[in-house]
Structure 1
């Protein structure tokens, strides 16, 4: 605290200096300008520049002396003032001349004085902080903002043009201020720099706060600095955390805008959660949002604002930002967990010291989904390690704030959301329901504002070379007549509302626009692929940054694919995502650990060692370690890698299925990776069979860099496709220093229906293969008998991701082959489904669900029709397939033909069996709620002791169907007499709560069975009741008598519904 008070005193010293400075200098400025008015008014920006420059000279002459000791006094405060003024004048001179208000022109000194006075009057509430870097130094900050304010007052141009002029000034000022500071210090600069470094080393707290302040910068490369948009969010039920998609259609913009009005700034929700009266050390606030919605941007910005406030006041919440992609870098098992070890190693801070222990912290823990292998056990380990920081002082720590962000991880996250004192909102029954913060991303107006503001920060953009909506945007920018970009992108079906909410897409569009890339009409995957292609172009040689070579671009693409594969592997073996080393990338490309003393190999991978292949937008770097700036960049590259594997091994005749399987077994891909993979497969398919050649060419152009990389042997990781190179790629000689793709390579596209079929057959072979692989590094082999038959491994066997090669084969085969219009399905090509059902069982054991969520739409068209059946229905079970105890929720089994199979004790909630056929199929003790059996054909089958609430049976055609003791509502069975009428004497026993074979529908508040539930019940039962009415002489009153209730409303619904069935 003593150190912080010293720093605060230094900052106050700076603030106290400003009034004294302005008093001494402004009068002299007025005298000078009056004497030199004619010369000063030759050009308007010259006038502003002279004003600022003279202000700087007056500072030195009147306040700061030029002697070295004075120059260095107070860590060079005067020199920073002078440097800022000189640089401001130079930056203003570079600007094109602009129109100026004539009245303002004559009072420019008064305006400047007013600006300074305004700043000194509000100095205590300003953004000024003590920071030793040139760009953020308080004196520099003060001068730059004074100039901005002055320009804003005197420029006459239209608002958009005015902002562009100001942005040009700020950009040039920021890019050159560091050099000017060094120049003004002269030979004293090393001494000044040494003093700063010494001060920071001695004050670890200030160093941490300064680093935290730097987090407010938004942009992936040094030259980018975007404006922060307020982050909006809402409370969402924990039970719905996996459903992050929007419920509004893209066409209904009004509904979207109305819903956005209900959102709140996320800071309000944070305050709401931590303002609850209950102090509990177990409280953790979770902020959940899918990829690209701005989780990290918010966390960094929020941390920087807290740091700024703490520096100014010397009290309040002390922010600590930590990204969990570094989880594996620090000791997770230290006494106070990974955060303590991070602060100790990075800043030399010992949180056990009284000065630190007494603080009130806000721990901002980012990217739980990037912390490593996302098993339930690992997530538990990470959260427990993070929480250990609260053990510093169990009394004081109750006031700390712990905020964790994550994507909606499929497994293990809900448990954490439930058990860490979630925010609760009472439902209609006044029961508390657990909630988390769901981050929304950009609102509609924010998307438009951010994109225009970002484009205005650049130079004037010439519309030449732009097409379509890109040209519209640039024209509107240059004319000042803004268009609704958000609406245009939706109307042209380029992006959806759900995608436009994601700031990452706004950034991608910005990059594509300023580089004159076409905004493809191929939706999200086209936009993302265009962006990845652009970044690969930016990966240039260090010594020749202006030279563009397409062959280099394709070679670098190979390195990037291997880097993405390594990224996934590092995650799978338990290391944090994204932390990569140059050495491991070289090893990955080589396929073996390279001898550090092998000079030939070192030379071979020199491009990797020198990071020549990296675009700054792709990667951030910290010494020898670097990481993907955004996880989605790695996910897109990994999806490309998967596609390359399938194309390569489908086309190369001299390779085996096993080699393909080995290349695919890298770990458990994220849902977003698979979404990208499906999108790439669809593009590949459309590049062959698109409805028009123009559309096909668009897709070919997008896929070309990825396909071309298969033709480059360097860094290919054995994914070098001879047929593509020698029969296609080598037909053209590429011109140097051009980005243009030879049109002949697009028109003579090597992918055709035959190639797609080969990929489909490869996919089927991968699934059917009997071999299995464990992604585990063996520690040692041992002999229990005589031949090293025992293997010691580093990880528990149940952490191995089972069958990932087969799952990827299923995705590839289904995406390329399925055609619902022609009733063509990939899984119909199978003859034996034992392997598929074994995949179900393995994944169920691994993840608690029988299939990955991202594969649920791939199971259409299962065809067991060829199975020979000698089953004696109703007798002892002798089924070919038995699926027991599996969670098969929300799977699409439509258009399938099931035969000779038992589903026992399975969760089949929301499963779609529409248009399917069932023969000799049993569902026993299953949860079939919300299942869809519409238009199915059922013979000699049984649904017994199962839950069928809200099942759809419309259009069902059945015979010999047993319904026995099934629950139709909570605590209510299907009427026994209905079941008996459907099948006959086989049904019987187990009446349970049925009264004389009837269903008792209690309308009391304890059971909460109301009119809606009764309507749903009859929607499910209607096809069966109608069948009984049609095929027997049952009377109306008899059927009504199957249902008993003590509620008059329910009774009227029963009467009306059943009466309608008899009409």
Structure 2
């Protein structure tokens, strides 16, 4: 029945809207000069255009048939009458006068609604007055008109508020009391509680895709697959080579719709409730987790409205976790519903619905520590206490990026889906959101281009031109996905991400050539484009010049740094405009929020369109990034900016530079962007100025120029200004939008500047002090503030040495060249500081190091004279290759997957440590001994005792000779390789750990091949043959 109502509204509304719009326009045109003489400003003209006398006259002939088509004409009348009433209470604050003809033309354009673009899929059949589909559509179209006419947001909100508060009485007035009573009786089953209607209406609107209000991008169904929980933090490096492309396409055929996997999970539950079940959907950045959850929520909301049955969706983004009480009796979700919608879910009218709680962005809920995540999930789970006797089948789905501290535990703890392996063992799974398949990537991009309103006017070059022509000629023969992969523009993993599809779409329609610039180039080009296209809220015809772009970039860097700090303080990256202004000041002041906003308003900072649209969503006086990756790449730029500024200062302030870097623990993706920016910076330094070098310099120009512009910039570099930027500072950047050729050719950074940046990184790593990101106060133990009190933090929760970790990454990328045996770490005066960083990370994160820093411990040259005690620490996955290591006690430690290739060891202890998969290829051992006894080389398998004794004595080991030191060994001296470890992979892992140590001993004649073979016994002949074949390779 509801579908019939929707169908009838869809049939009549486009024509009805067109007819009344034409009628009002014609009446306005006829009134001519009289209207203009009596109208004051834009609002005056609009009031005359929507005059109630015109509206009443139009609907006079329909008085006898008010109830036809479910009262559609009366809702249309009420919506237009209310426009005029609400216009009368707002003030005209547009900055420029628009003539009446232009306003009428805009009105005519805005109120067009074609049957082709308007279907039953676009409306909810709710007859609650404010949420009736006709009321919603007319209101939205008029608000769109106000935006086109450059009305300020506060005026539009005032109009909207008055419209919403008064539309119910206007509807009743339009029907007349008797007819309205009949209408209510006829449509009673379509009228929802007002709060429920608002919630369902908002959830339905989540289907909108696009960063801008006027974008209507299409949705490609979300595909996914089950993955073992143990692989949740594993990276996917498969399909890197062009000859594997067909295999990749075949793999995509096995994917399943994400909604089907959701159904499979809940249908597989054999217990009589879902009280303890949580389904997790995981994917890293830009793969469409949020889009999927929002589309799913919107679809379920529409189904619920149409049928009155099924699951009632509640969507909540944990980015807003800090805005609600997590300690409410029924948790964060109940408080959100009560706060935003006045819904008390525990009341009978709401309690007994079937709910599906769709919880987005666990990784944006605040600190990604195990205790913090535990608190968030416990608060979410409280909603299952609604009524454990009668409300037993409500569902919870949570999405997140992967993260290391605590996620895997919760995936396992909440009854995951199980799939049996070949041996019949049940393996717990999570839903892995895949992103775009190749065919979806192509389809979405082509569809978006075809539907682009100005498609026929596009001017493009290069690959984009070829693509546009193929669409115009209706050939569609270009496989965009395959071309971008084979040309190495983007990897398969990057092409899966819808965020890249969107960026490429934007770059094409703005004639930016992206075909040879790679991932970082696409991101930078997109950011540069957004900044270039920024418009002032009060003047949409204002065009930014180059100076504006540079100033905007400084503001964006300040906002990104605030986002990181707020995220670290469990504020979920919520950005108050007043705090943004304080960051731009670089200091605190006694100004209230209102005072500081007013001061900055005069400078235009709070009135820039991009602050609330292209980059950001806005709620009240708070902003949030539309996509977290925007914050991450801007933060990466900010980090690089800090290094460049302080490196080039005449007298670098090392402590100040370190302080600017200590905002909190950056996300993995932030550091990935940071690494790519460093490589890009290095590639711009060249004496040979080729077209490719110029293109790379263009990508970094906004970042470099922002350093050299003083406005809104606490990282201003006078060195860059006077050496590089001054020639264009006064004229070129104020009158042009083109990057000046002279400063692209005479680039800001040369080899000397790179060297200074490397030296700064070295000085930060050599610093003896530690900076912590925490609010604190001094306190007395005796008389002189000997103590520091940390607020709202325990010391172990504070991520330490972020300044040093970032310096380690930067220095190694800029200088280390393994082929040339050139190592940044060899510069360090205090390489032992790197081990202190590992120790501190162990204490705060229970892990060896950030995974993005594991590869940067190459080439250390230790000079310490005292033994360094590193017992019981975790060193997993670190690469110490090409280092000279001395006087380190790493006994009883976790040294799994560590690389010691080409290392020199002097007085090193690895006794009783876990060395599984550790590598010792081409090592040298100096000094008298190398202690490695009882070290584990496989699960339950220890290093051969004879080998350990030989290395302990640095000579052949003769048993029963007292002049040698030896390890006490209980049980057999031989290692038994039984059937449980007979798979070649495990045998190979054991050999990989031993091979470098054995090769060293063979070179020193400590033992022979045959003696090595005698150290092992086997359960199966085939195991012996395999392992001894590996031992025989040591002779070659």
Q: 1:213: how far off?
A: 0.2
In structure 1, runs of 5+ residues without a counterpart are 1-8, 26-59, 97-111, 144-170, 869-878, 943-960
689-698 vs 247-256, which moves further: 689-698
Q: 1:929: how far off?
A: 1.4
Find the aligned partners of 2:820 and 2:123 in 1 and give their Cα distance. 67
Find the aligned partners of 1:1058 and 1:244 in 2 and give their Cα distance. 32
Partner of residue 940 from structure 2, selected from 945, 967, 971: 971
Find the aligned partners of 2:928 and 2:260 in 1 and give their Cα distance. 56
Q: Which residue of 2 aligns with 1:906?
A: 893
**In the alignment, structure 1 residue 507 sits paired with structure 2 residue 502:** yes
**In the alignment, structure 1 residue 755 sits paired with structure 2 residue 753:** yes
Q: 1:938: how far off?
A: 3.0
Q: Which residue of 1 aligns with 2:207?
A: 216
Q: Which residue of 1 aligns with 2:378?
A: 384
**In the alignment, structure 1 residue 545 sits paired with structure 2 residue 540:** yes
**TM-score of the two chains, using structure 1 as the length reference:** 0.79
Measured at CA, do residues 18 and 671 of structure 1 come closer, stay the same or move farther in structure 2, by a change above 3 Å?
A: closer
Contact 1:220 1:617 in 2 (8 A): yes
Q: Which residue of 1 aligns with 2:913?
A: 926
Q: Which residue of 2 aligns with 1:160?
A: none
Find the aligned partners of 2:838 and 2:390 in 1 and give their Cα distance. 49
Q: Which residue of 2 aligns with 1:52?
A: none
Find the aligned partners of 1:332 and 1:387 in 2 and give their Cα distance. 11
* Pairing of 1:864-1013 with structure 2 (within 5 A): 864=862, 866=863, 880-940=867-927, 964-977=933-946, 983-985=956-958, 986=964, 988=966, 990-994=968-972, 997-1003=973-979, 1007-1010=980-983, 1013=986
Measured at CA, do residues 19 and 654 of structure 1 come closer, stay the same or move farther in structure 2, by a change above 3 Å?
A: closer
**In the alignment, structure 1 residue 266 sits paired with structure 2 residue 264:** no
Partner of residue 423 from structure 2, selected from 429, 434, 437: 429
Alpha-carbon displacement from aligned partner over 1:4-56 (angstroms, at most 9, x marks no partner): xxxxx7x467258579989x99xxxxxxxxxxxxxxxxxxxxxxxxxxxxxxx
Find the aligned partners of 1:563 and 1:197 in 2 and give their Cα distance. 47
Q: Which residue of 2 aligns with 1:675?
A: 672
Find the aligned partners of 1:306 and 1:1036 in 2 and give their Cα distance. 69
Measured at CA, do residues 929 and 235 of structure 1 come closer, stay the same or move farther in structure 2, by a change above 3 Å?
A: same
**In the alignment, structure 1 residue 765 sits paired with structure 2 residue 763:** yes
Q: 1:1032: how far off?
A: 6.9
Measured at CA, do residues 886 and 19 of structure 1 come closer, stay the same or move farther in structure 2, by a change above 3 Å?
A: closer
* Pairing of 1:739-754 with structure 2 (within 5 A): 739-754=737-752
Q: Which residue of 1 aligns with 2:487?
A: 492
Alpha-carbon displacement from aligned partner over 1:104-145 (angstroms, at most 9, x marks no partner): xxxxxxxx9xx99x99xxx8xx775315799997679999xx
Q: Which residue of 1 aligns with 2:840?
A: 842
Alpha-carbon displacement from aligned partner over 1:607-645 (angstroms, at most 9, x marks no partner): 233345526120011121211000010111111111111
Q: Which residue of 2 aligns with 1:288?
A: 282
Q: Which residue of 1 aligns with 2:706?
A: 709
**In the alignment, structure 1 residue 1043 sits paired with structure 2 residue 1016:** yes
Measured at CA, do residues 200 and 669 of structure 1 come closer, stay the same or move farther in structure 2, by a change above 3 Å?
A: farther
Find the aligned partners of 1:837 and 1:190 in 2 and give their Cα distance. 64
Partner of residue 414 from structure 1, selected from 384, 392, 408: 408
Find the aligned partners of 1:307 and 1:1044 in 2 and give their Cα distance. 66
Measured at CA, do residues 746 and 940 of structure 1 come closer, stay the same or move farther in structure 2, by a change above 3 Å?
A: same
* Pairing of 1:457-536 with structure 2 (within 5 A): 457-461=451-455, 465-482=459-476, 483-519=478-514, 521-536=516-531
**In the alignment, structure 1 residue 206 sits paired with structure 2 residue 197:** yes
Measured at CA, do residues 549 and 589 of structure 1 come closer, stay the same or move farther in structure 2, by a change above 3 Å?
A: same
Q: 1:1046: how far off?
A: 3.7
SS at match of 1:728: helix
Find the aligned partners of 2:592 and 2:683 in 1 and give their Cα distance. 46
Measured at CA, do residues 91 and 935 of structure 1 come closer, stay the same or move farther in structure 2, by a change above 3 Å?
A: same
Measured at CA, do residues 920 and 1039 of structure 1 come closer, stay the same or move farther in structure 2, by a change above 3 Å?
A: closer
Superposition RMSD in Å: 4.1
Alpha-carbon displacement from aligned partner over 1:68-87 (angstroms, at most 9, x marks no partner): 99389956456659999x99
Measured at CA, do residues 238 and 929 of structure 1 come closer, stay the same or move farther in structure 2, by a change above 3 Å?
A: same
**In the alignment, structure 1 residue 855 sits paired with structure 2 residue 853:** yes
Contact 1:555 1:715 in 2 (8 A): yes
Measured at CA, do residues 133 and 301 of structure 1 come closer, stay the same or move farther in structure 2, by a change above 3 Å?
A: farther
Contact 1:827 1:863 in 2 (8 A): yes
SS at match of 2:878: coil
SS at match of 2:418: strand
Measured at CA, do residues 1033 and 763 of structure 1 come closer, stay the same or move farther in structure 2, by a change above 3 Å?
A: closer
**In the alignment, structure 1 residue 571 sits paired with structure 2 residue 567:** yes
983-992 vs 226-235, which moves further: 983-992
Measured at CA, do residues 1027 and 1017 of structure 1 come closer, stay the same or move farther in structure 2, by a change above 3 Å?
A: same
In structure 2, runs of 5+ residues without a counterpart are 17-55, 81-103, 149-155, 157-161, 174-189, 959-963
**In the alignment, structure 1 residue 451 sits paired with structure 2 residue 439:** no
443-452 vs 801-810, which moves further: 801-810
Find the aligned partners of 2:380 and 2:164 in 1 and give their Cα distance. 41
Q: 1:425: how far off?
A: 1.6
**In the alignment, structure 1 residue 637 sits paired with structure 2 residue 634:** yes
Q: 1:424: how far off?
A: 1.6
Measured at CA, do residues 330 and 237 of structure 1 come closer, stay the same or move farther in structure 2, by a change above 3 Å?
A: same
Find the aligned partners of 2:802 and 2:1004 in 1 and give their Cα distance. 50
Measured at CA, do residues 321 and 1019 of structure 1 come closer, stay the same or move farther in structure 2, by a change above 3 Å?
A: closer
Contact 1:848 1:887 in 2 (8 A): yes
Measured at CA, do residues 683 and 70 of structure 1 come closer, stay the same or move farther in structure 2, by a change above 3 Å?
A: same
Measured at CA, do residues 178 and 1017 of structure 1 come closer, stay the same or move farther in structure 2, by a change above 3 Å?
A: closer
Find the aligned partners of 1:739 and 1:711 in 2 and give their Cα distance. 17
SS at match of 2:685: helix
Find the aligned partners of 2:383 and 2:205 in 1 and give their Cα distance. 24
**In the alignment, structure 1 residue 658 sits paired with structure 2 residue 664:** no
Q: 1:1014: how far off?
A: 4.0
SS at match of 1:543: coil
Number of equivalences: 926
Q: 1:533: how far off?
A: 0.8
* Pairing of 1:356-371 with structure 2 (within 5 A): 356-371=350-365
890-899 vs 495-504, which moves further: 890-899
Contact 1:554 1:712 in 2 (8 A): yes
Q: 1:760: how far off?
A: 1.0
Measured at CA, do residues 217 and 1042 of structure 1 come closer, stay the same or move farther in structure 2, by a change above 3 Å?
A: same
Q: Which residue of 2 aligns with 1:776?
A: 774
Q: 1:219: how far off?
A: 0.5
Find the aligned partners of 2:172 and 2:928 in 1 and give their Cα distance. 79
Q: 1:967: how far off?
A: 3.9
Alpha-carbon displacement from aligned partner over 1:969-1021 (angstroms, at most 9, x marks no partner): 43344444555677414465544452xx2222333xxx353455445545655
Contact 2:893 2:912 in 1 (8 A): yes
Measured at CA, do residues 826 and 839 of structure 1 come closer, stay the same or move farther in structure 2, by a change above 3 Å?
A: same
Q: Which residue of 1 aligns with 2:681?
A: 684
Q: Which residue of 2 aligns with 1:336?
A: 330
Contact 1:326 1:371 in 2 (8 A): yes
SS at match of 2:913: coil
Find the aligned partners of 1:802 and 1:840 in 2 and give their Cα distance. 10
Q: 1:1041: how far off?
A: 4.8
Contact 1:411 1:847 in 2 (8 A): yes
Find the aligned partners of 2:509 and 2:10 in 1 and give their Cα distance. 43
974-983 vs 391-400, which moves further: 974-983
**In the alignment, structure 1 residue 647 sits paired with structure 2 residue 623:** no
Find the aligned partners of 1:601 and 1:17 in 2 and give their Cα distance. 49
